[in-house]
């Protein structure tokens, strides 16, 4: 049986780690050709080798790098059908608005929001050449709910990704391009595990809000991205696609 992404070419930013890496694996399992774009060359090359894909060193905040990552992908695989604009950062110096400096604010805006602008701006023409395609931009649950444990620039950047994605979904709807904002809930990453093993109270403060009583696994997010990338989602566009285990819908959670 052919895979759900047979004949499709996907570019995944931040594909060397976490959600991006699991999505690259999932896409390849479903027969996509995959380009991993990242700054982390060693793990990025490793994933690309594992999947028979392409690795491109690209800083998604740099216009020239973004253009090159697409031209190299199109040259290698003959075109581009899927963009997973997923690279993002949440550094510790992005904190409460009272503590966060302009430099940290700007750095996070550049990596999380400006990058999505650039990746869509230069990726959409490639999709149009193929007669359409699917774009998935990684926002976050914090784009739709507030946290007293603030990371102010991160939250604002993800709100920007959400609004930008919605608008592009509407603008390009009749040209065959679907654009969705993926909003993962908190994911069980090594970083999160380390943070919370040091401070179980910190973990508990968050876990109590999750109806399922656990964080997401990266593979669970990857499965949602696969759906949005595939033709199974042919009528899904301009959506705020929550993959949060019910977090954003919850008031009182089960004991």
Ligand X SMILES: NC(=O)c1ccc[n+]([C@@H]2O[C@H](COP(=O)([O-])OP(=O)(O)OC[C@H]3O[C@@H](n4cnc5c(N)ncnc54)[C@H](O)[C@@H]3O)[C@@H](O)[C@H]2O)c1
Which range of residues in 84-92, 120-128, 199-207, 227-235 is near ligand X by CB under 6 A?
Answer: 84-92
Q: Does 94 bind ligand X (CB under 6 A)?
A: no
- The residues facing 138 across adjacent strands are 182
Which range of residues in 8-16, 76-84, 206-214, 225-233 is near ligand X by CB under 6 A?
Answer: 8-16
Could you tell me the end-to-end alpha-carbon distance of the chain, in angstroms, rounded to an integer?
Answer: 43
Taking CB under 6 A as the criterion, which residues in 213-242 touch ligand X?
Answer: none
Question: Which residue is associated with the tokens 């380009």?
Answer: 35
Contact 82, 44 (CB under 8 A): no
For ligand X, the closer CB: 49 or 175: 49
Write down the least CB distance from residue 174 to ligand X, Å: 29
By CB under 6 A, name the one of 29, 30, 40, 128 that touches ligand X.
Answer: 40
Task: In whole angstroms, give the CA distance from residue 168 to residue 159.
Answer: 14
Q: Tell me, by CB under 6 A, how many residues bind ligand X.
A: 26
Contact 26, 219 (CB under 8 A): yes
Which range of residues in 36-44, 91-99, 143-151, 203-211 is near ligand X by CB under 6 A?
Answer: 36-44
For ligand X, the closer CB: 161 or 235: 161
| Site track 165-204 with ligand X (rule: CB under 6 A), x = hit | -------------------x-xx-x---------------
Q: How far from 238 is each of 29, 45, 59, 128, 223, CA to CA, in Å?
A: 26, 32, 26, 17, 19
By CB under 6 A, name the one of 5, 25, 54, 61 that touches ligand X.
Answer: 61
Query: Is residue 154 among the annotated active site residues?
Result: yes
* Type and span of the H or E element at 99: none
Total Cβ atoms within 10 A of residue 47: 24
Helical ranges in 145-189 per DSSP H: 152-171
What are the φ and ψ backbone dihedral angles of 78, each rounded to 5 degrees?
90, 0
For ligand X, the closer CB: 29 or 46: 46
By CB under 6 A, name the one of 5, 26, 32, 59 that touches ligand X.
Answer: 59
By CB under 6 A, name the one of 38, 55, 113, 181 that touches ligand X.
Answer: 38
Q: What is the DSSP string of 15-37?
A: TTSHHHHHHHHHHHHTT-EEEEE
Which spans of this chain sit near ligand X (rule: CB under 6 A)? 13-14, 16-20, 38-40, 58-61, 86-90, 111, 138, 140, 184, 186-187, 189
Q: Active-site residues: which are they? A: 154
């Amino acid at each position: 049986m052919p895979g759900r992404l047979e004949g499709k070419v996907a570019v995944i930013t931040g594909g060397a780690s976490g959600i991006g890496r699991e999505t690259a694996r999932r896409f390849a399992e479903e027969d996509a050709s995959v380009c991993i774009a990242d700054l982390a060359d060693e793990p990025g090359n490793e994933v690309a080798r594992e999947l028979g894909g392409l690795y491109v060193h690209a800083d998604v905040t740099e216009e020239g790098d973004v253009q090159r990552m697409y031209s190299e992908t199109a040259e290698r695989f003959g075109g581009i059908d899927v963009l997973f604009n997923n690279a993002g950062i949440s550094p510790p110096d992005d904190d409460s608005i009272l503590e966060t400096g302009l430099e940290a604010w700007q750095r996070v805006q550049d990596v999380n929001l400006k990058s999505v602008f650039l990746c869509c701006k230069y990726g959409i023409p490639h999709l149009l050449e193929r007669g359409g395609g699917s774009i998935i931009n990684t926002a976050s649950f914090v784009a739709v709910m507030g946290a007293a444990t603030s990371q102010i620039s991160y939250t604002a950047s993800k709100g920007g990704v959400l609004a930008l994605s919605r608008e592009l979904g509407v603008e390009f709807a009749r040209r065959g391009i679907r654009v969705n904002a993926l909003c993962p809930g908190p994911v069980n990453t090594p970083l999160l595990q380390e943070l919370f093993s040091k401070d179980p109270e910190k973990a508990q403060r968050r876990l109590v809000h999750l109806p399922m009583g656990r964080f997401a696994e990266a593979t669970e997010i990857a499965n949602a991205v696969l759906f949005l990338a595939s033709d199974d989602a042919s009528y899904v566009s301009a959506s705020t696609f929550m993959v949060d285990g019910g977090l954003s819908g919850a008031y009182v959670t089960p004991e």
